[in-house]
Structure 1
């Protein structure tokens, strides 16, 4: 699986009454085992059929998605706070508002699929299995981080997850250009899903001011594409399943554009209001928020109670606070370990430092 980063457009998802299925008795009353929801159809390119226009959500899945999205949201808000308190330095790109993308993607693939991403990847890092504690600790540059405090926001890694490339688009072929990656993947019929997280803006420019064509799902030209409502976790999940099945069946690559929206600016130095209005951001928060949409569906489908979701919120808040406490008190890596883990499975050897007289030892 491959992931490429662009900017994004978000769409209104119509509120549709759920179709409840069988029920179960819970501590807070009677809950449905699952419910079926209408979801926004994807726009297709070079495809005769696409993902389904309905999705089944079980109570177990709903609770899991809700908690995961809340965890990503609060983790990013905590990262924002730690940055302003100067515990986090350097580059930091937050993905709050885009939670349906990382959660929906993970729900649609296998744990052993490989995910390669650019920056703004804290959410994907978490859904791939890296803990909040190790993510926040990596952001503060401490030894307990997922890259032992040496990677920071833009260079996080985990099992089957290669997260963070400072050059936009460089993750697509892992060195090279997007067009060449599209060509080779199509030529060799590689099982790659190229994902464009289209969050409406580049670094500070709206997509329609920078691109003659904003239909990114068609940018593969000879590769099929999907345009997906990236604010709806069910839309993303169903589209990802469809795209993954397409690739696994030997049909070659596919491009998937997720129309989403970031609440923060491009990076921590960007307030995000010089090229878009505060009213626009507030409208997206109040009418298109991915967590709110899932919550409304779960309540309407009787998959959970409001009190139950409040309890999840409280648990998430505590876990985030505990993780932040560790992230701000853990030890920083010592200077003598700066060259460790440069290579894998090698005996220790010396690495030159800033001048020929400074030497560090590399230990795998």
Structure 2
């Protein structure tokens, strides 16, 4: 009908088109279609940041819409439910791999992944389930991998510490403490040539922070001005030692890069993590070189779980430290409710839907088949054909196809 306006004067065209829009709006109202309205937003204050070798840093105020807030909550709740399921599978002896759960640290992975771009690379330590999920590995495939099923993220051959996603530039977890840090620097170098504005997020824990290879990686990253964001998830556990004062002369991980600037962030506050990562990514993409973020966080279970045994629980430390009462899900839930971006009913629906989806993933994973025996001799070399692979003794050989 708007074609009828052609040939009219400008005033008549404006009157004609305006009339059409009014009629269209009336028709939508009559048919029950609601006109679009602006989404509710709220301005929230994050926890304060600490800066090292930086004149300015991220803003402590952030505007959040209802959909944005609920999406952050949904992602954290999914990771929490997935890890709760993994804990249950281990306690019931369905799972036989060593498992490092991410429960309590959800704000770290979610805040980071919401602030970077799809083509940015990520490499992590062995506490990786949250990152794997956010980088495109489904809950079902993660749980199947923990159970050693062929539908797992690594075909059931990697277990909890070795899950990857090549298509989303997720280079997985490393079982060797700190080994991912120099590899992350290498990935940043490669990404500089493949995608000039891409960065590599390299995640490690406070237990790796004293290693020589970490400082060598810092040196090369700064020397070559590489686009790498070093993220120290400081859960203050340093593997199983508990008291970090026995291991390091400085707990300020964001200052440990010496010549590399750093930011301290409250890792319980997902909005603070997201805001800091946005700022850091822009800083790195502008060509200023690497940067370190320290995320002050904690996990709720022990260092690792083997079947029904929890190793490195530090129950006495937990009783003395009020930080273990902090929960990233509880904090975000409080923020959404007090600002009236969401209601209790809204969040309960999200909780129920996620619990149902994870329960279905558990059922599928536990009923999936285990890998065939010949899978032991695949994925050794890339594009290898007709290669002989020795078995468990000198008399047994297999052909790699």
Q: Check whether the contact 1:108–1:238 (CA below 8 A) recurs between aligned residues.
A: yes
- The answer to whether the aligner puts 1:171 opposite 2:180 as a matched pair is yes
CA offset at residue 275 of structure 1? 5.7
**1:270 corresponds to which residue?**
310
Q: Who wins on radius of gyration, i.e. which is larger?
A: 2
CA offsets per residue over residues 246-274 of structure 1, 9 Å max, x none? 11111110011000010000001435544
Q: Check whether the contact 1:138–1:147 (CA below 8 A) recurs between aligned residues.
A: yes
Deviates more, 1:96-105 or 1:339-348: 339-348
Deviates more, 1:127-136 or 1:55-64: 55-64
- The answer to whether the aligner puts 1:127 opposite 2:134 as a matched pair is yes
Give the one of 284, 288, 292 matched to 1:255.
292
CA offset at residue 307 of structure 1? 0.5
**1:225 corresponds to which residue?**
262
CA offset at residue 121 of structure 1? 0.7
**1:242 corresponds to which residue?**
279
Q: Check whether the contact 1:349–1:362 (CA below 8 A) recurs between aligned residues.
A: yes
**2:217 corresponds to which residue?**
181
Q: Check whether the contact 1:41–1:51 (CA below 8 A) recurs between aligned residues.
A: no
The answer for unaligned runs of 5 or more in structure 2 is 1-33, 185-211
Q: Check whether the contact 1:338–1:360 (CA below 8 A) recurs between aligned residues.
A: no
CA 1:59–1:362 in structure 2 vs 1: closer, same or farther (change >3 Å)? farther
Greater RCO, CA 8 A, separation 6+? 1
Distance, in Å, in 2 between the alignment partners of 1:171 and 1:229 is: 23
Distance, in Å, in 1 between the alignment partners of 2:42 and 2:386 is: 57
Q: How does 1:96-107 map to 2 (within 5 A)?
A: 96-107=103-114
**1:23 corresponds to which residue?**
none
**1:320 corresponds to which residue?**
358
- The answer to whether the aligner puts 1:155 opposite 2:162 as a matched pair is yes
**2:206 corresponds to which residue?**
none
**2:119 corresponds to which residue?**
112
Q: How does 1:49-88 map to 2 (within 5 A)?
A: 49-88=56-95
The answer for unaligned runs of 5 or more in structure 1 is 1-26
**1:36 corresponds to which residue?**
43
The structure with more helix, counted as a fraction of residues:
2
**1:200 corresponds to which residue?**
236
Give 3-state SS (helix, strand or coil) of 2:355's partner.
helix
CA offsets per residue over residues 204-244 of structure 1, 9 Å max, x none? 22223321110011110100001100000000001111111
- The answer to whether the aligner puts 1:137 opposite 2:171 as a matched pair is no
Q: Check whether the contact 2:302–2:314 (CA below 8 A) recurs between aligned residues.
A: no
- The answer to whether the aligner puts 1:304 opposite 2:313 as a matched pair is no
Give 3-state SS (helix, strand or coil) of 1:157's partner.
coil
TM-score of the pair, normalised by structure 2:
0.79
CA offsets per residue over residues 101-120 of structure 1, 9 Å max, x none? 00000011001100001111
Superposed CA RMSD in Å reads 1.9
Q: Check whether the contact 1:341–1:362 (CA below 8 A) recurs between aligned residues.
A: no
Q: Check whether the contact 2:239–2:312 (CA below 8 A) recurs between aligned residues.
A: no
**1:18 corresponds to which residue?**
none
Give the one of 27, 45, 53 matched to 1:46.
53
Distance, in Å, in 2 between the alignment partners of 1:118 and 1:86 is: 25
CA offset at residue 32 of structure 1? 5.5
Deviates more, 1:143-152 or 1:206-215: 206-215
Distance, in Å, in 2 between the alignment partners of 1:110 and 1:362 is: 37
Give 3-state SS (helix, strand or coil) of 2:43's partner.
strand
Q: Check whether the contact 1:94–1:264 (CA below 8 A) recurs between aligned residues.
A: yes
Give 3-state SS (helix, strand or coil) of 1:244's partner.
helix
CA offset at residue 294 of structure 1? 0.7
CA 1:348–1:58 in structure 2 vs 1: closer, same or farther (change >3 Å)? farther
